């Protein structure tokens, strides 16, 4: 039967309409944030920000916009649900859900946490030590805190600082139920289970005195969240304010020396530190200053046998340790204990009754050197792999010869050892169990060195499954941070096996801004040298491409917080270099945040990023601020994640970034914003299963961008 021309046209039109409707269902229109005129004048320059209104957290329109973004992300990723579930099942299947941490000896008890299958949170417990000091497996377990019970009816619960009194009877701890890092102090009598009426709000750190009834703690400012008040509380009484740090560049925290002799108040800015101490047996006394603050002088201290061991950067860029009598710790009385080494960062010094352990870092690798006070000799603790991370695993006891070490690499699961400081023998106490038949021999890890544009060698840690073909065709996942002197360790993640087993390589770029290569590595990635962080990352990416580890259309990148700023900055600079980007809680709106002294993490951050009230710093910071440098051009696929209650990087920074980028970008690549509207923090959800579900979603989205969907 022959169809008339008019009827054929009608049929085609109907087909076209259904096709358009079908496409519309598959790809809904993204939300468009309303533009509202907002102008400020900085250094004589008029700055227009049409999305400034998104800062109005209580404005219902803000929540409505964020919900629209979430709905759009949900619609655009609907097809990912099966893959996301597959990844979640894989990731969960590698975890021993009912598990026990390695018990830690503190006085008469061993403390540990355990998890139970199906429960989101850990349970914190203790058991009495046997008469010979060993763990008595038959001893009754005391559950100090069951976070699952505590979290009933709450969408979020974080347990913060915790400290047990010297007589083992009282537990001081803090909780946050919003994700805003707003912790409340609680004191629990471990003998009766009673929660005492003594409390305080906005607590940041806490420590007991030796009398078992006096608690020292610090609290934060309500607006800026800077830890600035120091209190003494005698149980049953009212808190007494001992000190207020008025300089907005500084934050404070309280602790205790390992020998329990002194309570210590630490006062720190980015480049200047001060310590104050008080005999823990006389809590009503006055704190003494170890050394008055001196611009640029960073120091801390520990105590042993009447001597302060002071780790100082005075005439020692990477720190040295000197000793001085407690009675007079002035430099005139200093004696060299651990000399400075230009190529070795002295990260910490732990002192015990008969030993000292120096925590050092060189060429991005941690190591320990051990001193016997009896013999006066040092020895180094060696490790079996070329690329690894090793940290002190927490040895609270002063009179011990066992030093706990936490060790892992990108192929060796997290392992806890006790190292005998006398015999040099190490005992493996526990290695993270990876269920499902994990075989480390199937994987390989290497340390690579990329040459930055200024000739500096930048380390890269990489892991892959053996048989990986370096032909430039394989996808690669590249992670970095590069700020605050925090060096990302070469860590093990059972989640990454979902990448490696699908043919990806996984790499960490140890770029400037961290401390992998010493204090100068941090200095060269901050303030007026911050752009080194971004160009290092780009140069590492180009190195990996040149060496045929991957290609531009197979390279996916990820970073969070300051690492999220990194993601946004390098995407502005080289959008052609990356296939997909996950920017988590990104510090993207640098200028608006750093020009607003009322916000958390602003004034105290001047020494890390610069003070934009100074014209030179303003110009430099504005030249890389991600939000201010978005342009009308093509960008890679981008996923941005955040939390409405994040107190470190406010939700509006990623929200504004997405709104502005969506209005400017000329490509058709996905740009998604996923904002947790329920209580959640800077690190996302508090429950372990919830966090894993988020990881599965993010992984599924990233893999989809390189054509992997199962």
Q: What are the distances in angstroms from CA 440 to CA 336, 391, 499, 502, 611?
A: 44, 21, 15, 16, 47
CA dist 188 and 558 (Å) reads: 41
Class of residue 242 by CB neighbours under 10 A (exposed 0-12, middle 13-18, buried 19+): middle
* CA-to-CA separations, 634 to 348, 475, 572, in angstroms, rounded: 46, 21, 10
- Pairing mode, strands 109-115 and 104-106: antiparallel
Cα torsion 451, 452, 454, 458: sign:
negative
303 is catalytic: no
Q: How far apart are CA 214 and CA 664, in angstroms?
A: 58
| 682 a catalytic residue | yes
SS3 state at 21: helix
Distances (CA, A) of 321 to 61, 315, 521: 56, 11, 21
Residue 392 tokens read as 């002190």
Q: Rounded CA gap, 627 and 655, in Å?
A: 10
Catalytic residue among 49, 186, 682, 694: 682
Say which of 646, 647, 686, 694 is annotated catalytic.
Answer: 646
Angle (CA) 199-200-201 rounded to 5° is: 135
Catalytic residue at 646? yes
| Side-chain half-sphere exposure of 296, counting CA atoms within 13 A | 5
Residue 680, CA distances (Å) to 121, 319, 651 in order = 15, 38, 11
Q: What are phi and psi of 623, to 5 degrees?
A: -70, -15
First to last CA, the chain: 46
Q: Specify the 3-state DSSP secondary structure of 374.
A: coil
Tokens found for residue 639? 């996923």
Count CB-CB contacts under 10 A for residue 193: 10
Q: Which residue of the set 113, 561, 583, 625 is catalytic? A: 561
Residues 103, 111: contact at Cβ < 8 Å? Answer: yes
Q: Cite the active site residues.
A: 561, 646, 682
């Amino acid at each position: 039967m022959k169809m008339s021309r008019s009827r054929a046209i009608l049929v085609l039109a109907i087909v076209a309409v259904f096709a358009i409707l079908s496409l519309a269902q598959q790809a809904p229109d993204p939300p468009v944030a309303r533009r509202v005129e907002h102008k400020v004048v900085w250094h004589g320059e008029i700055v227009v920000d049409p999305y400034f209104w998104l800062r109005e957290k209580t404005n219902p329109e803000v929540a409505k916009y964020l919900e629209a973004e979430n709905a759009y992300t949900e619609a655009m990723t609907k097809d990912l649900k099966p893959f996301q579930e597959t990844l979640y099942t894989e990731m969960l299947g590698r975890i021993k859900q009912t598990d026990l941490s390695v018990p830690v000896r503190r006085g008469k008890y061993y403390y540990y946490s355990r998890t139970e299958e199906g429960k989101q949170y850990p349970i914190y417990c203790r058991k009495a030590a046997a008469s010979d000091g060993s763990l008595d497996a038959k001893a009754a377990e005391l559950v100090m805190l069951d976070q699952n019970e505590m979290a009933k009816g709450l969408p979020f619960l974080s347990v913060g600082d915790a400290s047990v009194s010297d007589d083992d009877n009282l537990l001081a701890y803090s909780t946050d139920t919003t994700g805003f890092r707003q912790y409340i102090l609680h004191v629990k009598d471990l003998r009766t289970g009673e929660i005492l009426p003594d409390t305080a709000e906005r607590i940041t750190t806490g420590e007991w005195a030796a009398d078992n009834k006096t608690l020292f703690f610090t609290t934060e400012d309500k607006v800026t969240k800077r830890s600035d008040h120091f209190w003494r509380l005698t149980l049953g009484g009212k808190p007494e304010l001992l000190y207020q740090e008025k300089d907005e560049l500084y934050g404070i925290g309280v602790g205790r020396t390992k020998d329990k002799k002194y309570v210590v108040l630490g006062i720190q800015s980015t480049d200047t530190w001060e310590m104050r101490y008080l005999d823990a047996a006389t809590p009503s006394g006055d704190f003494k200053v170890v050394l008055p603050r001196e611009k640029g002088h960073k120091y801390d201290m520990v105590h042993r046998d009447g001597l302060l061991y002071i780790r100082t950067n005075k005439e020692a860029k990477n720190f040295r340790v000197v000793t001085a009598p407690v009675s007079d710790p002035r430099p005139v009385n200093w004696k060299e204990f651990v000399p400075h080494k230009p190529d070795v960062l002295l990260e910490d010094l732990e002192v015990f009754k008969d030993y000292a352990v120096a925590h050092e870092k060189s060429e991005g690798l941690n190591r320990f050197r051990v001193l016997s006070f009896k013999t006066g000799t040092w020895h180094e603790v060696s490790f079996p792999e070329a690329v690894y991370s090793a940290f002190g695993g927490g040895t609270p006891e002063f009179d011990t010869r066992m030093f706990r070490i936490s060790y892992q690499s990108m192929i060796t699961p997290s392992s806890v050892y006790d190292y005998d400081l006398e015999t040099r023998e190490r005992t493996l106490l526990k290695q993270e169990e990876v269920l499902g038949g994990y075989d480390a021999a199937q994987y390989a890890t290497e340390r690579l060195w990329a040459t930055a544009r200024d000739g500096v060698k930048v380390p890269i840690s990489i892991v892959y499954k053996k048989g990986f073909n370096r032909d430039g065709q394989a996808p690669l996942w590249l992670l970095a941070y590069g700020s605050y002197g925090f060096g990302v360790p070469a860590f093990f993640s059972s989640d990454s096996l979902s990448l490696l087993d699908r043919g990806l390589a996984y790499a960490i770029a140890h770029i400037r801004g961290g401390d992998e290569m010493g204090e100068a590595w941090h200095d060269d990635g901050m303030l007026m040298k911050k752009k080194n962080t971004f160009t290092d990352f780009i140069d590492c990416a180009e190195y990996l491409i040149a060496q045929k580890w991957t290609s531009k259309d197979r390279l996916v990148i990820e970073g969070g917080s300051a690492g999220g700023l990194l993601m946004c900055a390098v995407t502005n600079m080289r959008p052609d270099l990356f296939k997909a980007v996950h920017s988590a809680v990104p510090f993207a709106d640098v200028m608006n945040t750093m020009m607003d002294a009322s916000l958390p993490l602003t004034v105290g951050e001047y020494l890390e990023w610069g003070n934009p009230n100074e014209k030179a710093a303003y110009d430099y910071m504005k030249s890389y601020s991600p939000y201010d440098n978005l342009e009308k051009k093509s960008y890679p696929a981008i996923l941005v994640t955040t939390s409405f209650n994040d107190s470190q990087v406010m939700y509006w920074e990623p929200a504004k970034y997405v709104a502005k980028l969506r209005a400017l970008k000329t490509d058709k690549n996905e740009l998604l914003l996923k904002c947790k509207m329920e209580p959640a923090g800077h690190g996302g959800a508090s429950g372990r299963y919830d966090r894993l579900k988020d990881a599965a979603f993010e992984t599924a989205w990233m893999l989809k961008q390189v054509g992997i969907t199962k």
